[in-house]
Structure 1
């Protein structure tokens, strides 16, 4: 991880892979008390979506893993 602290603020994002943030919410919690997922060396709040160029989408789940929500592709 890139010089991050356990109490980083978390926000819900929509990310267009390979790491471009398209939208971002206000702060919804922090990594010291809330669940989060790691992508591109950053912590992301539960509810964050990653949209790959091939159409696949992933959602950050409560257990800290990325779950496939659309794997059909374009």
Structure 2
């Protein structure tokens, strides 16, 4: 889930993803699904208007985050 138009720097994106992975490790989690719109925006910069449909960001400890949702919202 690499974006070229992030509302923050690539270094900040890396910092946020790293903080998330550290918290995952501390909790013993291999993956998390982030579905709250404000949390998706904080983590990835995704600012979707379709908060009323199922969507989320899947974060694992060793691969890029993956956005999940309707194609029209991508």
Q: Which of the pair has the greater relative contact order for Cα pairs under 8 Å at 6+ separation? A: 2
**Same-fold call, TM > 0.5?**
no
Higher helix share: 2
Higher strand share: 1
Q: TM-score with structure 2 length normalisation?
A: 0.29
Q: TM-score with structure 1 length normalisation?
A: 0.29
